Amino acid sequence: MLPDFRVRQRDFLLEISRAMTAQLDLSEVLRLVLKASIVMLAGEVGLVALRDSDDQYSIRATLGVDSERLPDLNHRLDELMNHSGQQIDREFLNVKLNQMAVSLNRKLRQSLFLPLVIAGEPVGLLIIFRGYSVSTTENDFQILQSFADQAAIAVHNAQLYAQIDEERKRLAAILENSADGVMILDHKLRILGFNRALERMTAWTVQDALGQDQDVVITWKRREKGDLHEALREGWPFRLPPEAPVETLYLEGDLLRRDGMTLSVGITYAPLLDDEGKLSTIIANVRDITNFRRAQEMQNVFISTISHELKTPVALIKGYAGTLRRDDAEWDPQVIRDGLTVIEEESDRLTGLIENLLAASKLRAERMQLDLGDVALDDLAAQVVERFRTQTQRHKLVLKFPREFPLVQGDAVRLRQVLDNLVSNAIKYSPDGGTITVGGELDDTHVTVYVRDQGVGISEDDQAHIFERFFRVDGNLSRKTQGTGLGLYLAKAIIEAHGGHIRVKSKPGEGSTLYFTLPL
């Protein structure tokens, strides 16, 4: 029969092993390992070092060691482990451990080195120092080795838990801060997870959404693609062979928010199956497609508009050319001149339209190239105004530049294009006529040119978009006037290529003023 102290020692070992394996916090496991080791071995100082992914060991827990001693101890540990490798040289080990003990306290007499190994793989090591020296029996060694094995399991489990917890936190951070809405559903379509982006999209709070049936939160005002319930009734996601990848399901439409507003969204449902192949969870990725739809609508309007814009001048050119070349008619010189004038004007219109399209296409591919030189913006504006005076009878065009307006460095052709677009727009959107003023202002560092009209004006919502490609202000007047929605887009690109900026000031019914500012 074992002596009582052996029984107590084994009972203690069993108790501390249970406590360690029940604990998943790594720092707490290391504390328990050290505390138990010091008690079992009557030690005074102890440390635990863990192995990292680079096969390097670093001290992660100590007892009886001042924190300022850690750099030196880690250095000594590196020397020890780098020399030893996989095969531990006992003599070298004892020398290095004694040096380590002396560096800590000259009263320490004995060092005990216990590798922590699991499934043949080193996890770390445990070193205990004590103030007396005594030989270790075979029974003592077996007990210590059993303790080291239990400690290795506890440390390994705690490390795995720490890794899983870190991955969980990382995934939670990604989901929570995703620009897309993310919703996690159980197999009965109850909401288990709901991120902040989805709060903004649906106007539901996380607290109110969790536990709800997804149909309560995801309410469609108009659904265009897909039906989750219909897909589930038809066997989604189990219709494919078991080895085939699980298909996602896509829905699209207008979502009715909790506050009564609507939002265009696309939802991708991704199923997760358990080990038995049953549906356990569905991850729903919700994306705001409002801007995509707007761009798509703008593109459709652009295609329709450009078709009309091309047809009109082509029809006029063809009509006048066909009329003038008729063999059965004699035209007087004035009629011929008038007809040729229309053909020339419509050809110029076609050329301008094509140039705008090419310029817009080129802007998408590369930065605008400028041919810089001295430009007199007041003279350039005078030329533009003079040309447009011949094209309108209902508008009064006025120049308002201060005397000796300074020159700027710029591309005269491109800046002329900007002024043409601004004045043309002012005429189009002033159907009842009025005064159109082209003027300039300056300060010590910049010049500003503006085009002011007395037209229909622009709403505040539209002002944020008028410089976008293909955008045209919605309304009856816009539908009646010619245009592709490229003029102001190109004007903005040209001004910004010159290092300037362009802006608009307007109120519906009170006209608009467009300004562009360039550095001197």
Report helix, strand or coil for 139: helix
Among the listed ranges 253-262, 267-276, 287-296, which one has the minimum average pLDDT value? 287-296
Report the domain count for the chain.
4
Give the C-alpha separation, 465 to 294, whole Å: 11
User: The domain that contains 149 carries what CATH number?
Assistant: 3.30.450.40
Together in a domain, 76 and 158: yes
Q: Above 50 in pLDDT, residue 20?
A: yes
Q: Above 80 in pLDDT, residue 202?
A: yes
Give the C-alpha separation, 462 to 29, whole Å: 63
pLDDT at 361: 62
Q: Cα–Cα–Cα angle for 70, 76, 79, nearest 5°?
A: 145
Among the listed ranges 239-243, 293-297, 331-335, which one has the minimum average pLDDT value? 239-243
Among the listed ranges 60-69, 201-210, 287-296, which one has the minimum average pLDDT value? 287-296
Together in a domain, 23 and 119: yes
Which of 173, 127, 145, 153 is CA-nearest to residue 21?
A: 153
Together in a domain, 30 and 100: yes
Of 312, 341, 365, the position where a domain reaches its end is 365
Together in a domain, 225 and 355: no
Task: Select the highest-mean-pLDDT range: 103-117, 351-365, 432-446.
Answer: 432-446
pLDDT at 474: 56
Together in a domain, 482 and 361: no
**If you average pLDDT over every residue of the chain, what do you get?**
84
Together in a domain, 105 and 155: yes
Using one digit for the tens of pLDDT, what is the confidence trace for 381-416? 999 998 888 778 889 999 999 988 999 999 998 899
Together in a domain, 50 and 89: yes
Mean pLDDT computed over 61-67: 89
Together in a domain, 237 and 326: no
For 110, the domain range is 4-172
Of 288, 315, 347, the position where a domain reaches its end is 288
pLDDT at 141: 73
Mean pLDDT computed over 157-176: 85
Task: Please tell me whether the overall predicted TM-score, pTM, comes out greater than 0.85 for this model.
Answer: no
Determine the number of helices (DSSP H) and then strands (DSSP E) in the chain. 16, 17
- Residue 157 banded pLDDT, cuts 50, 70, 90: confident
Mean pLDDT computed over 258-280: 90
Give the C-alpha separation, 446 to 518, whole Å: 6
User: The domain that contains 202 carries what CATH number?
Assistant: 3.30.450.20
Together in a domain, 155 and 244: no
57 with 78: CB under 8 angstroms?
yes
**300 vs 229, residue with greater confidence:** 229
Among the listed ranges 252-261, 322-331, 380-389, which one has the minimum average pLDDT value? 322-331
Of 118, 140, 172, the position where a domain reaches its end is 172
Together in a domain, 244 and 273: yes
pLDDT at 477: 45
Together in a domain, 358 and 454: no
Together in a domain, 36 and 99: yes
155 with 29: CB under 8 angstroms?
yes
pLDDT at 197: 92
User: The domain that contains 421 carries what CATH number?
Assistant: 3.30.565.10
User: The domain that contains 301 carries what CATH number?
Assistant: 1.10.287.130
